[in-house]
């Protein structure tokens, strides 16, 4: 399984503090290396944000899945990420 960031998600990730970046990075790696990462994901009802989300503490990573690749579309605090 591959993990790819969209340009906007990469910018959002870069604006976070280093400790939060490290925590999110470690958790995303954990999810990607699982046999079935979707057991940790929740579907999103509003598809304009993506189809799935990972919960990482107070933060959310919204993503789509194509073939063998998880494409991170948006990363942010749970209060802001769905706006």
- The tens digit of pLDDT for each residue in 29-69 reads 999 999 999 999 999 998 888 899 999 999 999 999 998 99
Q: What is the largest CA-CA distance in the chain?
A: 32
Q: Residue 17 pLDDT more than 90?
A: yes
User: Which one is the CATH code of 2-77: 3.40.33.10, 3.40.50.720, 3.30.43.10, 3.30.2310.20?
Assistant: 3.30.2310.20
The answer for residues whose C-beta is within 8 angstroms of residue 40's C-beta and 6 or more apart is 31, 34, 54
Do the Cβ atoms of 82 and 48 come closer than 8 Å? no
Mean pLDDT for the chain overall? 94
């Amino acid at each position: 399984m591959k993990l790819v960031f969209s340009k906007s998600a990469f910018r959002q990730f870069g604006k976070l503090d280093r400790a939060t970046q490290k925590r999110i990075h470690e958790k995303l790696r954990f999810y990607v290396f699982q046999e079935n990462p979707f057991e940790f994901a929740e579907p999103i009802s509003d598809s304009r944000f993506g189809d799935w989300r990972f919960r990482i503490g107070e933060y959310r990573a919204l993503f789509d899945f194509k073939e063998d690749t998880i494409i991170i579309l948006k990363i942010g605090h749970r209060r802001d990420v769905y706006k």
